[in-house]
Each structure stands twice: as structure tokens, then as C-alpha cells.
């Protein structure tokens, strides 16, 4: 694996690959890699793409300074994992490389309804930061395929919207890959490292609550079912930001199950001072 720190060098490397007729699969991350991230590399390899991963803890997408400071950094281990997985190139830029003129005068994106709900409501500015860094990374890498995790479902929708706003939807295909989970169902996340091992066994409450929604979904109002699932989360020690059911296509929040619509349950909840997010498609595989 080749490690590249500047956009100029990465562009040169990528143009060589593209001249050979190879397709680029891009996997943007913030590091502290786990099997969830590695699964994205594997999807790229399955599609015969050249996997190019980036690790960049993007300061502008953290609405909480403490969360930013506490974000885990495990770069040596990350490099070993990527190498073992068959990643071809790792882009490891500095903050100055991505934001050479600082954070002022950054683009503001019109994200409409999608940007205003769920994570957009609870983490003001978060999706602005995501779009700022993604636009820069996409312009540098210009991949054939972009590999994203379903774990961050709303983020997938926002990035697809960004790609449309950049008029790149014909050039860059977005591949949404399934969420990788621990044996007890907890979605793998870099933030899981911050959960105290003594209480870790209760962290699967988030998976149990989502599974309850999936297993008991029936026609009619959704509120009673959501109350049951909330109860599971609270009993396991979670403090809920939101637990909701939405249309998986446009993320319209639903109060009633309507046949023929594809539904997704989404939640954000804090456990042991660690804010976790997860989601589950309810009536499709």
C-alpha cells in the first residue's frame, strides 16, 4: 500500500491508475478502523476497483469540541489493517492540506429537508462539515465508485445529494454497504472504544430496540411500537435523542405503517456518555 499525504501526489498516482484503465473505489474514513471500514475495502475489491482509502478527522463536522478532542486515533494499527485488507493507497492529509485557507469562508450547502431532520437537528452544522470535506475529497479523487456504510444512512443520502449538486451523479456511483455488527448486534463504530467494558454488555440495547421494531412491525399507527422500543433503550441505560421510523427513500418521518413503502428505523442515543447511531431497514432485506 502506498501512503500519500498531499492532494497533488494523490492526483498523480490516480491519473496513472486511470490511464491503465483501472477503476477507483474510494473509501473515506476518519480512522480508528474496524471491520466495518474494512468491509468497504472488501466491497471495492469484489468490484475489481482499486481501493483508495482516506483517513482524515474532519474538524468542521464536529459540532461538539469534546467529541472532536476525544475522537480515537490509531493510525499505526489502521495502516496494518488496510494493508492486510488489500487497500492500494491511503490518503492521509493534514488539516492544512484540506483547509489551506482555514475554516472561514467555507461553502454553505442547501440541504433542505434532508439536512434539517434527525442528525441535522441534533448536530447543527454537522452535515455542512461533511459536505465541505466530501466535496474536496471527491474533487481530488474523482472515484468511479464511492463506498459508504449504511450505518450512517442519513449521511449516505446527504452525500448522494451533494454528488447531484456537483452534477457528478453520472460519474460517481454510490455503493451503500451493509452495517457490520459485533456478535451481540452492536454496530461497529470507532466510538465503541470509549464504552467502559464493565457496562459494554448493555450497549446492545440499541440493536435490540431496532430488532423489536423490525420483528413487530404491523399495519397501523407506529407510536405504540416506538414506545415499546424506547422502553428497551431506556431500560438498558440509553438516553434517547431520537428513535423514529421513516420512509427509506426520502426519509419522510412516518406515524403510520403504509403498505408498499420501504421503512427504516433510525436512532441516536447516548450510552455511557458515548453517542451512538444506528438504523435498520424494517420491511426489506
User: Catalytic amino acids?
Assistant: 37
CB of 187 to ligand AMP, least distance (A): 5
Nearest to ligand AMP of 211, 254 (CB atom)? 211
131 binds ligand AMP (CB under 6 A): no
The single residue among 4, 14, 24, 30 that binds ligand AMP, judged by CB under 6 A, is 30
DSSP per position, 202-251: GGGHHHHHHHHHHHH--SEESHHHHHHHHHHHHHTT-EEEEEEEEETTT-
Q: What does the alpha-carbon distance between residue 265 and residue 207 come to, in Å, rounded to a whole number?
A: 11
The single residue among 54, 128, 190, 192 that binds ligand AMP, judged by CB under 6 A, is 190
Task: Say if residue 276 is exposed, middle or buried (CB neighbours under 10 Å; 0-12, 13-18, 19+).
Answer: buried
Q: Name the phi and psi angles at 282, rounded to 5.
A: -100, -35
Q: Name the phi and psi angles at 35, rounded to 5.
A: -60, -25
Size of the site for ligand AMP (CB under 6 A): 17
Mark residues 141-180: x for contact with ligand AMP by CB under 6 A, - for none: -------xx-xx------------------------x-xx
123 binds ligand AMP (CB under 6 A): no
The single residue among 24, 25, 26, 37 that binds ligand AMP, judged by CB under 6 A, is 37
Q: Exposed e or buried b for every residue in 211-237, given b needs 16+ CB within 10 A?
A: bbbeeebeeeebeebbeebbebbeebe
Choose the binding region for ligand AMP from 5-13, 96-104, 187-195, 239-247 (rule: CB under 6 A): 187-195
The single residue among 38, 39, 60, 109 that binds ligand AMP, judged by CB under 6 A, is 39
Phi-psi region of 123 (alpha: psi -120 to 50; beta: other; left: phi over 0): beta
Choose the binding region for ligand AMP from 69-77, 181-189, 234-242, 251-259 (rule: CB under 6 A): 181-189
The residues binding ligand AMP (CB under 6 A) are 29-30, 36-37, 39-40, 148-149, 151-152, 177, 179-180, 187-190
Amino acid at each position: 500500500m502506498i501512503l500519500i499525504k498531499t492532494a497533488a501526489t494523490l492526483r498523480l498516482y490516480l491519473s496513472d491508475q486511470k490511464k491503465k484503465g483501472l477503476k477507483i473505489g474510494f473509501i473515506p474514513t476518519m480512522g480508528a478502523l474496524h471491520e466495518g471500514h474494512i468491509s468497504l475495502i472488501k466491497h471495492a475489491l469484489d468490484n475489481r476497483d482499486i481501493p483508495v482509502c482516506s483517513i482524515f478527522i474532519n474538524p468542521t463536522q464536529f459540532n461538539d469540541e469534546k467529541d472532536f478532542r476525544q475522537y480515537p486515533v490509531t493510525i499505526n494499527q489502521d495502516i496494518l489493517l488496510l494493508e492486510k485488507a488489500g487497500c492500494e493507497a491511503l490518503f492521509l492529509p493534514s488539516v492544512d492540506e484540506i483547509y489551506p485557507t482555514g475554516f472561514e469562508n467555507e461553502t454553505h450547502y442547501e440541504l433542505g429537508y434532508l439536512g434539517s431532520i434527525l442528525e441535522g437537528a441534533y448536530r447543527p452544522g454537522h452535515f455542512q462539515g461533511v459536505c465541505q470535506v466530501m466535496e474536496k475529497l471527491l474533487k481530488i479523487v474523482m472515484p468511479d465508485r464511492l463506498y459508504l456504510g449504511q450505518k450512517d444512512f442519513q449521511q449516505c443520502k446527504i452525500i448522494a445529494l451533494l454528488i447531484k449538486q456537483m452534477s457528478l451523479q453520472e460519474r460517481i456511483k454510490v455503493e451503500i454497504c451493509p452495517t457490520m455488527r459485533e456478535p451481540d448486534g452492536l454496530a461497529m463504530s470507532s466510538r465503541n472504544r470509549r464504552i467502559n467494558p464493565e457496562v459494554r454488555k448493555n450497549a446492545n440495547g440499541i440493536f435490540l430496540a431496532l430488532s423489536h421494531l423490525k420483528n413487530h412491525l404491523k399495519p397501523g399507527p407506529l407510536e405504540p411500537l416506538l414506545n415499546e422500543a424506547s422502553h428497551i433503550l431506556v431500560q438498558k441505560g440509553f438516553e434517547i435523542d431520537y428513535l423514529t421510523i421513516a420512509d427509506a427513500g426520502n426519509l419522510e418521518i412516518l406515524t403510520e405503517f403504509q403498505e408498499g413503502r420501504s421503512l427504516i428505523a433510525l436512532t441516536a442515543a447516548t450510552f455511557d456518555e458515548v453517542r451512538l447511531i444506528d438504523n435498520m431497514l424494517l420491511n426489506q432485506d
